[in-house]
Amino acid sequence: MAPIDRCMASVAKLSLAPTVRPSISSTIPRFLAPSLVQTRHASVVKIGRKKQVKKAKPLSKDFKRHKLDKADFPQFTLCEALRILRAYEVGKPPGAVKYEMHVHLKTARNGPVIKSSIRLPNPVQSDWQIAVVCPEGSDIANAAVAAGAKLVGEETLFQAIRDGNITFDRLICHELSEKKLQKAQLGKILGPKGLMPSARMKTVVKDVAKAIRDSAGSSDYREREGAVRMAIGQLAHSPEQLKANIEAVMKKLRAQCAEISEENPKEVHEVILSTTNGPGISLNGKFRNLTEEITPQQLSGPM
């Protein structure tokens, strides 16, 4: 059959009249008609000014950090800051407002970044929805459900993620299922959300129940653009509770900075406390001035 088909095709091609295109080269040889081929430049007037190309200043290797003490930049004690922030958040429902902390680091633009999670003494949010990747119907799955996992499974879970049906905030993977998870190629979907389990983030684990317990009250943080930003407390927390949270985070951050600092030294530069709607207030590291008339008791309790 094939040869006949080919034959027919060539016949059909012949029967179609080819469109005739006027071409210069068919009548006059190309080298005899330079005026038609070349464009003329002599008659076009050029403006004789050269474009001045401004060289963009190269970015400095470190993030810019202003000298706070030299500028005499005002910093506040925790109680002063809380007084201002609580005034800004008066009458707001406590569920809608959180305290947040920004830690500016003295650090290079490239190099390793600080990234971890911490169990705060007074958790900001404790009702995380956790999903676990583990063999379906196994003892591990049962243990995970008993520990409070919302979703459990392998292929059903992967399918739900592919469909964009992500109803959880945390994803933990059991060691046995790690290969299956990698084969499922969900990195594109989970990666940008920060949900992809990895051994480095301690979300690929042996003991799922323990991981769920650890993860339930913990909050993640990571360094972006030279700053660590995270929610640090609820509006209902007292100054002492907030102090405990801030101290815990700062202790861990300092330890991490010291650990990392072989080639890229990192250092804490400034700590800023803020709320959802309030201004950012630079903290000076003290709890309260003894001369202040405001006591921590006045700053706790209902707003």
Contact set with another protein (CB under 8 A)? 44-47, 51, 63-66, 68, 71, 73-74, 83-84, 86-88, 90-94, 96, 236, 279-281, 294, 297-299, 301-303
Q: How far is the CB of 47 from another protein (least distance, A)?
A: 6
Contacts of 249 (CB under 8 A, 6+ apart): 101, 103, 118, 120, 221, 230, 232
Exposure string for 273-300, b = 16+ CB within 10 A, e = fewer: bbbeebeebbbeeeebeeeeeeebeebb
Q: How far is the CB of 263 from another protein (least distance, A)?
A: 23
Nearer to another protein, 86 or 98 (CB): 86
Q: How far is the CB of 33 from another protein (least distance, A)?
A: 25
Nearer to another protein, 88 or 128 (CB): 88
Q: How far is the CB of 129 from another protein (least distance, A)?
A: 23
Q: How far is the CB of 71 from another protein (least distance, A)?
A: 5
Q: How far is the CB of 225 from another protein (least distance, A)?
A: 9
Beta carbons of 99 and 244 less than 8 angstroms apart: no
How many alpha carbons lie under 13 Å from residue 277 in its C-beta half-sphere? 12
Take residue 257 and report the two structure tokens written for it.
Answer: 């900075």
Please give the radius of gyration of the chain, using alpha carbons only, rounded to the nearest integer.
Answer: 33
Q: What CA–CA distance (Å, rounded) separates 193 from 188?
A: 9
Q: How far is the CB of 186 from another protein (least distance, A)?
A: 36
Q: What CA–CA distance (Å, rounded) separates 174 from 96?
A: 34
Nearer to another protein, 94 or 191 (CB): 94
Nearer to another protein, 66 or 286 (CB): 66
Q: What CA–CA distance (Å, rounded) separates 246 from 273?
A: 10
| Residue 228 phi, psi dihedral angles, 5° rounding | -105, 120
| Three-class secondary structure of residue 228 per DSSP | strand
Take residue 76 and report the two structure tokens written for it.
Answer: 């506040």
Nearer to another protein, 87 or 255 (CB): 87
Nearer to another protein, 85 or 249 (CB): 85
Nearer to another protein, 6 or 57 (CB): 57
Indicate the length of the chain as a whole number: 303
Q: What CA–CA distance (Å, rounded) separates 99 from 82?
A: 10
Nearer to another protein, 138 or 276 (CB): 276
Q: How far is the CB of 81 from another protein (least distance, A)?
A: 11
Q: What CA–CA distance (Å, rounded) separates 274 from 138?
A: 46
